[in-house]
Amino acid sequence: MNDQRAAFFQQCDANREHQRLAGIASWAAFSARWRARQGLPLLHALDVQYLTPADFCRGNGRPLPPAEQRRRFREYVQAAIDQAAVLEARGGVRRRAGLLSGDLAFVRLHGFAYRVEFQRDFLYGRPDLPSWDEENLSPRRPYGIPATVWLRAAPQAYWIDPDHAPPDENEDW
């Protein structure tokens, strides 16, 4: 597994195009963090992908109250989802040779889509049943399973078989 990762990183390091896009992404991340810490608006809503709620500060660099940080983060994520949907509806972002602004738009949109796709907080329904199954159309509790790890690494949700479940401690209550 580590060999695979090392080989993948070596491949990326050797690819000049990849390095160019990574460089632009790092500039966008610098800008997003610096702006959030200064209490300034982000250059682009999709730049929220480089932030956490805790990055949002007042103009003097002191953190906002946690509830305000979360609210601001949610607003940016919603705006980013809306913008990404508009861009995708227009046929996505096409890169044109020699234009770095095109690369910047590409990095922003694809980085955001990648994160939203694979870093959801909950798995809904049962992956072992088709989407039209009654259980997935109107799932019984639990409605969602918290996903505490990256979903790509752990795509399976496990259900306890009632026949083999441990006895409920409050069964006799």
| Contact positions vs another protein (CB under 8 A) | 20, 23, 26-28, 30-31, 33-35, 37, 43-44, 61, 99-101, 104-105
Nearer Cβ to another protein (28/125): 28
Cβ contact 36:55 at 8 Å = yes
Nearer Cβ to another protein (93/151): 93
Residues in contact with 11: Cβ distance below 8 Å, sequence separation at least 6, in sequence order: none
Nearer Cβ to another protein (33/115): 33
Min dist. Cβ of residue 9 to another protein (A): 15
DSSP SS3 for 10:
helix
- Report which DSSP code applies to 61: S
Nearer Cβ to another protein (93/145): 93
Nearer Cβ to another protein (76/125): 76
- State the Cα–Cα distance between residues 120 and 148, nearest whole angstrom: 9
Min dist. Cβ of residue 27 to another protein (A): 5
Ramachandran sector of residue 59 (left: φ over 0; alpha: ψ -120 to 50; beta: rest): alpha
Min dist. Cβ of residue 105 to another protein (A): 7
Q: Which amino acid is at 156?
A: Q
Taken in order 7, 8, 13, 17, is the CA torsion positive or negative?
A: positive
Min dist. Cβ of residue 162 to another protein (A): 46
Min dist. Cβ of residue 101 to another protein (A): 4
